[in-house]
Chain A
Amino acid sequence: MRGAPRTPAYQVSRNAVWLWVVEGAISGAVLIAVAVAAWLLIPAQAAAPVRLAATVAPWVAVAYAALVVGFRPRLRYRVHRWEVTAESVFALTGWLTQNWTIIPIARIQTVDINRGALQRLFGLASVAVLTASSKGTVHIVHLDAATAGAVAADLSHRAAQIRDEAT
């Protein structure tokens, strides 16, 4: 739509979809297990509303699991975007509520690379670009590890060269 900030050019690594699928599968499986356990453990002579809730809960859990495995990863892949230009680094996240964050290279204080256990499995890494402001952090999640390393190295190198005095 007119007037909205530009959408950054790049998407995250394609592998991120699989990582999110695995994450969704894990949380869905846990939820289903809990719901089924509740359904099994709640006695048949419990009050009618409780019994009804216990019967419905596993199906709700299954629906949730289907959503977080089948739909959410693709949605996330679509809405996570990032870009590094000659003068700034910026990122866009969010679906219902969209969130753009832009930081000039000159104001970067530190650049972090994070690799979680699951991320390692899929060869991914996240980059966090920090400034003097506690709210001014650009998170670029789930890049492939080589890109993340290149981005972080380049950003910190350029930040050191053109760092401003007032932060």
Chain B
Amino acid sequence: MTGVPPGPTVPERRLSWRVLIVHTVTFRQARAILSSAGPIALIVAVQGRLGPVGLITIAVLATVASLVFTALRWWRFTYRIDAQHLVVRQGLIARSERSVPLDRVRGVDIEAPLLHRVFGLATVRVDAAAGIGRGDEAMLDAVTATQARQLRVLLLGRRSPGPMLAPPPGAVPWETPAPLPGAAPWTQSYPDAPQGSQSPPGAAPGGPWTQPGMAPDRHRPDQVYARLDPRWLLYAPLAGTYLAVPLALGGTLLRDVERLPLPDNLRGLLTFPEQAGVGRIATGVATVILLVALGALVAGAVANWGFVLGSRSGNLVAERGLLSRRTVSLELDRIRGYVLSEGLGLRLVRAARLTALVTGLGDQSRRGQLLPLGPRTVATAVAARAVQSFAAPLAAHPRAALRRRLIRATGVPVVLAGALLLLAAPGLAAIAAVAALPGIALGLDRYRSLGHGVDAGALGIRSGSVVRRTVVLQRRALVGWQVRQSWFQRRSGLVTATALVGAGTGGYEVLDCGADQALHLIADASQAWARDLQPAGAPHESTYSVGGTRSAGAGS
């Protein structure tokens, strides 16, 4: 730490007292302890042993208990930031102290659920570099929104410390959400910021960002990379992940619809009577599809409303949410690439979703999102500006790869059809053969997706059909290669090469590319060390002889 001036510190302090109200109302602390008491009270109440007086007594008692627990926790929970650590102390009787080194902080999330927003509070989650699989390093639930922003700057801004504490009261930083949910969508409160364009520091004086006495670059993005156009939410029904939840919900609803006290005509619309005509079934299916689409739209809007991606003092900052606002900060230095995923539905409308690959980030798919939904062209442009430009054409894989994809996709039904034919069941065999037809389409499409390429800064890999993924990795991020060749692949001259990186899943496969292609790719994408893998290269100077005694010290 020599030479680095000590950054500003935060003396030991408690969370905001207003959180007492929020946690009392939501029974946050009490729930953990009284989780068993609640249902019992409910059962007793439902069985009618209690009059209204009893009910009110229970409610009051529960609220008081909740307040007491909340207050105790609040009283015993303190945090501070010294020159090198964030220190969190908590525990009613058994005290615990967690100390997170500031230079290991990888990301800071600020989340403001609805009730928190009403009281001007936010939850701060600190993600630090530690062993893989460990959760959040520290969570402050909750501080005031202003404090939350200061903390983020303090925790992430170690490289450029500045006087960030105590901004003037009433400061409105760029990520402040509209005070009331739904009243004013965030995107509309800053009409002067052109969509997806750069907004240099110091522009728009007197705008909503600029406050006297405040370093402007600290409280607004240095650059805005993307804003979610509300029209893009129309893609939501076509995105697979949203589809699953409402579909399951719809199924449950339909099953239980018989028991619901609905008017007869509505029930008739929702249920499928035994002798239903084709028309009614079609109506039912259309209704379900409509409901699912609507559900997806609503879910997408709630999660992603007002999504903004920007960069600020070396961090990528993403903010979103209709009811609950969430701000995720990622260190730009730790981003190693991105994944562009296009589900089958999204491909129909040329839309995509964009996720960053970040080292040491838990919950990558959710927190690393750079664009939840949007046109493919926008997603590519955002990726190029925010993460890494990649322009190389993707080379197709050999025809042998097509054969392998087709065999994989149709193998089961074809074998089944053959077996059924042998068993003299031609009817069933025909059905199995027909079932192989979609497999052919799938195999063809999977082959068409396969591709890889290298340019000056990055390496791109594409594969997949139901969800087509284009992975772009910075070449400097490669930590190695794995080349796998099965017996079948050997006969076809194919290999599967895996680019190893210290982010995301740890490795990304170049599926079934030609063996020569793979060697070229590895040589082009990597530095000199990859020459060691080349078959016909110059003789290598090894540092070890077979016997284990070192013959040369060619270490550098």
Instruction: Determine if A157 and B484 form an interchain contact, defined as CB atoms under 8 angstroms apart.
Output: no
Restricting to B455-510, which residues have a CB under 8 Å from any CB of A?
A: 474, 476-487, 490, 493, 495, 498, 500-503, 505-507
Instruction: Determine if A133 and B506 form an interchain contact, defined as CB atoms under 8 angstroms apart.
Output: yes
Instruction: Check if B511 is an interface residue, CB within 8 A of chain A.
Output: no
| Chain A neighbourhood of B527, CB < 8 A | 104
Minimum CB distance partner of A129 in chain B? B480
Specify which of B132, B359, B535, B546 is in contact with A9 (CB 8 Å cutoff): B546
Q: Kindly provide the distance from the CB of A149 to the nearest chain B CB, expressed in whole angstroms.
A: 9
Instruction: Check if B40 is an interface residue, CB within 8 A of chain A.
Output: no
- Prevailing SS type, chain B contact patch: mixed
Instruction: Check if B328 is an interface residue, CB within 8 A of chain A.
Output: no
Q: Which 4 A-B pairs have the closest CB atoms?
A: A132-B502, A147-B548, A3-B515, A136-B500
Knowing A85-B540, A102-B533, say if A150 contacts B486 (CB, 8 Å): no
A133 to B502, CA, bound (A): 4
Instruction: Determine if B529 and A99 form an interchain contact, defined as CB atoms under 8 angstroms apart.
Output: no
C-beta contact mask, B512-556 vs A, less than 8 Å → 1, else 0?
001110110000001111111111010011111011111000111
| Chain B neighbourhood of A84, CB < 8 A | 542-544
| Chain B neighbourhood of A100, CB < 8 A | 481-484, 533
Instruction: Determine if A90 and B542 form an interchain contact, defined as CB atoms under 8 angstroms apart.
Output: no
A151 to B537, CA, bound (A): 24
Q: Which residues of A are in contact with B by a Cβ distance under 8 Å?
A: 1-6, 9-11, 83-88, 90, 96-107, 131-136, 138, 143-144, 146-147, 150-151, 154, 157-158, 161-162, 164, 166-167
Q: Which residues of B are in contact with A by a Cβ distance under 8 Å?
A: 132, 336, 359, 474, 476-487, 490, 493, 495, 498, 500-503, 505-507, 514-516, 518-519, 526-535, 537, 540-544, 546-550, 554-556
Specify which of A90, A97, A164 is in contact with B532 (CB 8 Å cutoff): A90
A107 to B481, CA, bound (A): 12
Instruction: Determine if B481 and A4 form an interchain contact, defined as CB atoms under 8 angstroms apart.
Output: no
Specify which of B486, B535, B543, B547 is in contact with A85 (CB 8 Å cutoff): B543
Q: Kindly provide the distance from the CB of B541 to the nearest chain A CB, expressed in whole angstroms.
A: 6
Instruction: Determine if A104 and B480 form an interchain contact, defined as CB atoms under 8 angstroms apart.
Output: yes
Minimum CB distance partner of A144 in chain B? B548
Instruction: Determine if A103 and B480 form an interchain contact, defined as CB atoms under 8 angstroms apart.
Output: yes
| Chain B neighbourhood of A138, CB < 8 A | 480
Minimum CB distance partner of A8 in chain B? B532
Instruction: Determine if B546 and A10 form an interchain contact, defined as CB atoms under 8 angstroms apart.
Output: yes
> Which among A3, A103, A162 has the greatest number of chain B C-beta atoms within 10 A?
A3
> Which among B476, B481, B514 has the greatest number of chain A C-beta atoms within 10 A?
B481
Instruction: Determine if A10 and B515 form an interchain contact, defined as CB atoms under 8 angstroms apart.
Output: no
Instruction: Determine if B535 and A6 form an interchain contact, defined as CB atoms under 8 angstroms apart.
Output: yes
A9 to B248, CA, bound (A): 56
A150 to B542, CA, bound (A): 14
Can you give 16 A-B contacts (C-beta < 8 A)?
Answer: A1-B493, A2-B493, A3-B514, A5-B519, A9-B540, A85-B532, A99-B484, A100-B481, A102-B480, A106-B529, A132-B359, A135-B482, A136-B480, A143-B548, A158-B555, A167-B502
Instruction: Determine if A136 and B482 form an interchain contact, defined as CB atoms under 8 angstroms apart.
Output: yes
Instruction: Determine if B359 and A83 form an interchain contact, defined as CB atoms under 8 angstroms apart.
Output: no
Knowing A4-B535, A88-B529, A147-B548, say if A83 contacts B542 (CB, 8 Å): yes
A141 to B149, CA, bound (A): 51
Instruction: Determine if B533 and A161 form an interchain contact, defined as CB atoms under 8 angstroms apart.
Output: no
Instruction: Determine if B533 and A5 form an interchain contact, defined as CB atoms under 8 angstroms apart.
Output: yes
Instruction: Determine if A10 and B502 form an interchain contact, defined as CB atoms under 8 angstroms apart.
Output: no
Instruction: Determine if B498 and A135 form an interchain contact, defined as CB atoms under 8 angstroms apart.
Output: yes
A99 to B500, CA, bound (A): 14
| Chain B neighbourhood of A143, CB < 8 A | 548
Instruction: Determine if A151 and B516 form an interchain contact, defined as CB atoms under 8 angstroms apart.
Output: no
Specify which of A3, A87, A99, A103 is in contact with B516 (CB 8 Å cutoff): A3
| Chain A neighbourhood of B502, CB < 8 A | 131-133, 136, 167
Q: A10-B544, A132-B479, A136-B507 are in contact. List 11 more A-B contacts (CB 8 A).
A: A3-B514, A3-B535, A4-B490, A5-B483, A6-B537, A84-B542, A86-B554, A102-B529, A136-B479, A150-B548, A154-B550
